[in-house]
């Protein structure tokens, strides 16, 4: 079993007056199969945070851009292993056309205005996508990397600071949970006449023809005196296609249970672990 993690890298600097801003951007690790007919899309995130003095303005305009990485060609970013490469690009949103590219020109940066109100801190976050086109020429299996420089600017386009985040593409026989599961939220009334249900979906991406299995650390538990049961659907195993495959975790609490809540409303939570093996 293998694990991957997202790293956060900071861009920090003086904005204007005493307002200090930083922007964090997630590093990306993705499994890529060039023989897959489906383009590879991986979503990351950025966060812009500013701190001010009480005497400063209560708004701040910002821009966040990125370059084409260390080994760009023809306007595309490229990850590299030795002298071999795969092309990818960065996008603010879909559809993936020139209007939505994430770059570092006035028309391709993320932009926004932070509103402090009465607070001395404010932040905003958003997603971005990294896309590897389908059907690229197959290169030797391995780990391909690139480093992208992100630049935080004020509303006038003046650079505040720069830093880097990494892009790692894995083309060995491997798997990843490409879309993380969310929470299962049950609502239950004592002695209700029908079972309570909840579900969340997640995505798994594995290289072509690689078999894998998925499991939960526990398929049942008890919260507030109510026993819940969990199951992975449609199956707890699969075979990789190079594209993200979607699964669901379904949960149920049987009807006609009393529970142990002694007040009008009670809440409880537990953490379950999903394991992907190959």
pLDDT in tens, 98-151: 999 999 999 999 999 999 999 999 999 999 999 999 999 999 999 999 999 999
User: Average pLDDT in the 91-98 region?
Assistant: 96
User: Average pLDDT in the 71-99 region?
Assistant: 96
* Predicted pLDDT of residue 217: 98
Neighbour tally for 259: CB within 10 Å: 18
Angle (CA) 4 127 274, round 5°: 35
Q: What percent of the chain has pLDDT over 70?
A: 94
d(CA 166, CA 158) in angstroms, rounded, equals 24
Tell me what the pLDDT averaged over the chain comes to.
Answer: 92
Which residue, chain included where needed, has tokens 């760009």? Answer: 72
3-state secondary structure of 193: coil
Selected from 2.60.40, 2.60.120, 1.10.260, 1.10.357, the CATH number assigned to the domain covering 176-277 reads 2.60.40
* Predicted pLDDT of residue 17: 52
* Predicted pLDDT of residue 173: 93
Identify whether the C-beta of residue 257 lies closer than 8 Å to the C-beta of residue 190.
yes
CATH code for the part of the protein at 8-172: 2.60.40.1090
Q: Does 176-277 match 8-172 at the fold level?
A: yes
Q: In the β-sheet with 237-239, what is the strand arrangement from edge to edge?
A: 237-239, 211-216, 274-277
Q: Which of the four pLDDT bands, split at 50, 70 and 90, describes residue 9? A: very low
pLDDT in tens, 168-223: 999 999 999 999 999 999 999 999 999 999 999 999 999 999 999 999 999 999 99
**DSSP one-letter code for 138:** P
Which residue, chain included where needed, has tokens 């909840």? Answer: 198
258 exposed, middle or buried (CB, 10 Å; 0-12, 13-18, 19+)? exposed
pLDDT: is 8 or 274 the higher one? 274
Domain ranges of the chain: 8-172, 176-277
């Amino acid at each position: 079993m293998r694990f991957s993690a997202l790293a956060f890298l900071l861009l920090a600097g003086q904005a204007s007056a005493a307002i200090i801003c930083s922007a964090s951007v997630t590093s990306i690790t993705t499994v890529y199969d060039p023989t897959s007919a489906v383009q590879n899309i991986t979503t990351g995130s950025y966060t812009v945070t500013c701190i001010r003095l009480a005497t400063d303005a209560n708004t701040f305009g910002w821009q966040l851009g990125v370059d084409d990485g260390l080994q760009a060609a023809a306007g595309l970013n490229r990850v590299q292993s030795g002298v071999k490469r795969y092309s990818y690009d960065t996008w603010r949103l879909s559809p993936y056309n020139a209007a939505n590219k994430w770059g570092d020109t006035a028309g391709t940066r993320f932009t926004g205005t932070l509103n402090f109100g009465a607070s001395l801190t404010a932040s905003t976050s958003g997603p971005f996508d990294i896309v590897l086109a389908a059907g690229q020429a197959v290169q030797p299996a391995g780990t391909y990397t690139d480093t992208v420089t992100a630049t935080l600017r004020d509303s006038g386009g003046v650079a505040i600071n720069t830093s880097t985040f990494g892009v790692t593409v894995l083309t060995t026989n491997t798997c990843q949970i490409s879309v993380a599961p969310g929470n299962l939220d049950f609502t239950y009334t004592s002695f209700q006449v029908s079972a309570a249900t909840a579900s969340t979906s997640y995505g798994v991406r594995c290289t072509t023809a690689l078999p894998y299995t998925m499991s939960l650390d526990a398929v049942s538990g008890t919260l507030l005196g109510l026993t819940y049961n969990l199951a992975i659907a449609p199956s707890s195993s699969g075979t990789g296609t190079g594209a993200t495959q979607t699964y669901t975790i379904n949960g149920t609490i049987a009807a006609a249970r009393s529970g142990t809540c002694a007040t009008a409303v009670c809440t409880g939570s537990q953490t379950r672990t999903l394991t992907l093996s190959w």
